[in-house]
Structure 1
């Protein structure tokens, strides 16, 4: 059994002139090669604190109860709010 194939010549890639280095870190959200730092937002910690408190309140409610359903609904809103805050911040930074 013989195998034959034909290849085409590919033009070499041009060198990139403007390279950007980005470091994702714990102390600052983003650090670039230019020395620019983007800090972590402090308002996100406030949302996480609210989220923690609502999760504890939900845990204490009896399942199947109307108050449990209301607390679960409120918890979902807080999750959505925190997710939207993260997305918005990353969109603005980029």
Structure 2
């Protein structure tokens, strides 16, 4: 059994589990509809879910370590996330 010591880690994990369930459900829906057009539509929705989960999990992580890192490190991490999002959209 897993003992949860940190609520932020638990929240981050639950968001990732939820994201995985959404991805798995989308894959099943693609198989159910069995058309390329519908699969692309479902994939388009997933393209919005991924970045939202990334930002939410990163935000929770930053909240968890807020007292341990400097303001400059916050800016660097935020810039890194922004660059990841920008890089995947181009």
Q: Could you tell me the TM-score, scaled by structure 2's length?
A: 0.48
Structure number, greater radius of gyration: 1
Structure with more helix by fraction = 2
Q: Could you tell me the TM-score, scaled by structure 1's length?
A: 0.47
Structure with more strand by fraction = 1
Higher relative contact order (CA 8 A, sep 6+): 2
